[in-house]
Amino acid sequence: MEGYQVYQTPLSSRYASKEMSHLFSPANRFYTWRVLWLNLAIAEKQLGLPIPDEAVKQMKDNLQLDAEQFDIAAQEEKKRRHDVMAHVHTFGKVAPAAAGIIHLGATSCYVTDNADLIFLRQGLTYLIRSLAVLISRLSAFASQYRALPTLGFTHFQPAQLTTVGKRATLWIQELLWDLRNLERARDDIGFRGVKGTTGTQASFLALFDGDHEKVEELDRLVTKLCGFEYAYPVTSQTYSRKIDIDVLAPLASLGATAHKIATDLRLLANLKEIEEPFESTQIGSSAMAYKRNPMRSERVCSLARHLMVLHQNALMTSSVQWFERTLDDSANRRISLPEAFLTADIVLSTLQNISEGLVVYPNVIARRISQELPFMATENIIMAIVKQGGDRQEAHEKIRVLSHEAALQVKQLGLENDLIERVKKDPYFDPIKDELDALLDPNSFIGRAPEQVDVFLRDWVVPSLDKDELSEAIDKSAKVELSV
């Protein structure tokens, strides 16, 4: 038994947009319909229906549509007001021996819904591969800057130090969860199978003269021929639109992750600590020639918002499917499903582009730390005085007064933070003045951040990417990068 499965040749993630665009193109959609009709005929013939060998051969030889066939289909659809029947007619024109058995016993949703499930599964595969490449790129960045101290922010106010690499692991961890969610959604997708007009398989039961076992075997054969492990046990005319919810939910969640990452990068660009790639001839503003706008990150945020709200379409469509189906799902899904995948695809490719060219400015980062670290070091200074025999309350009061004086210099006069100079000038702190440089070393404020990066990459990232399809995608992307 030889079936025809719809399969797209994997390309480097750099070309994923072309790949995803082709997946949801009319050419691929109608090619897939023909594959489904062919596999149905193969299975029906195997189970005893009188389908000529020549009919199967002509169908196999004419799976791709040329321009003339597209024109014929368009004319037929205009006349019949039914896209599936227009393509049944068009297929029969180039496979005349099969004209009488194409779509035998099937309903329109046999091709439309099964094709959609094929596209959803393949689309998730493309996204999973692209996401793996992005995680790999950001992991290399995190490893490179695992120990570079940087000012942490809570409420976007200066907080305890972290490292540039540790901050990147926060992004990667969420992307790993997205990878898990996409893989779960893909691996859970089944096939609608051969179910008939309202899901009862009545037409196929009639074709096989009431033989229930043959109808069940037909469902199994076509499902296997199309490359699926299982078919949904029961359907209405369509597969349940709840499947669309389950697929678009992880895409929306990925959108939230992407928006957070891109927003962090936009804020860091404002701080001049980290910037996205900026071409030598790129223009940031038509009026302000000095500007280096984070336009890639802004694009990610813009598209991510769109991706997040598309999930609402699936929720609402699923909730209003009356009884065995209504047709108000069709126009919505023809827009929302491709848009969700195309949007997720370009979000990932843009983030990958950003991750491959991030520019870090260590001196700017160090300067910001020097402006805030004296205040953060006050507790260390107090503890050092106490170790030398000083009184904690007295030391606290001394530091409190000097801190407020230094804060006045910064906030009211716009000057640099001179707290340490004030400490050095105060005789009270003479016992620890030799320790001040060590007490102000940024590396003493980052805790286990570098070690956390190492453990996270080793124990979580590497195992998650240690799969053949992901390793292959990462390797191919790296080869393309080297060739550019």
C-alpha to C-alpha distance for 342 and 336, rounded to whole angstroms: 10
Could you read off the pLDDT of 172-200 as tens digits, one per residue?
999 999 999 999 999 999 999 999 999 99
Q: How far is CA 224 from CA 40, 220, 384, in A?
A: 11, 6, 73
Assign 12 a pLDDT band (cuts: 50, 70, 90).
Answer: very low
Average pLDDT score over residue span 111-116: 97
DSSP, collapsed to helix, strand or coil, labels residue 377 as coil
- What whole-number distance in Å separates Cα of residue 255 and Cα of residue 266? 16
CB 310 within 8 A of CB 339: yes
The amino acid sitting at 330 is S
**Residues 131-155: pLDDT tens digits?**
999 999 999 999 999 999 999 999 9
Residue 90 burial (C-beta neighbours within 10 Å; 0-12, 13-18, 19+): buried
3-state secondary structure 278-332: CCCCCCCCCCCCCCCCCHHHHHHHHHHHHHHHHHHHHHHHHHCCCCCCCHHHHHH
| Domains identified in the chain and CATH numbers | 2-106 (1.10.275.10), 109-192+235-279+289-360+458-476 (1.20.200.10), 364-444 (1.10.40.30)
What is the pLDDT confidence band of residue 158, given thresholds at 50, 70 and 90?
A: confident
Residue 481 pLDDT class (50, 70, 90 cuts): low
Count the residues in the chain. Answer: 484
Note the Cα 262 to chain centre separation in Å. Answer: 13
CA atoms within 13 A on the CB side of 51: 27
**Which ranges of 10-99 would DSSP assign to H, the alpha helix?**
16-23, 26-46, 53-61, 67-80, 83-94
Output the CA torsion sign for 400, 405, 406, 407.
positive
**Residue 157 in 3-state DSSP?**
strand
Q: Is the CB of residue 19 less than 8 Å from the CB of residue 11? A: yes
- Hey, how many other C-beta atoms are within 10 angstroms of the C-beta on 121? 20
Residue for token pair 């004319």: 75
Task: Report whether 37 contacts 103 (CB < 8 A).
Answer: yes
CA–CA gap between residue 66 and residue 64 (Å, rounded)? 7
State the pLDDT at residue 413.
85
220 exposed, middle or buried (CB, 10 Å; 0-12, 13-18, 19+)? middle
| pLDDT value of position 5 | 62
Given a contact cutoff of 8 angstroms between Cβ atoms, the answer to whether 360 and 38 are in contact is: no
Q: pLDDT band at residue 403, thresholds of 50, 70 and 90?
A: confident
pLDDT digits (tens, 9 = 90+) for 293-306: 899 999 999 999 99
Q: Which residues are catalytic?
A: 155, 285
pLDDT on residue 13 = 36
Indicate the pTM of the whole model: 0.89
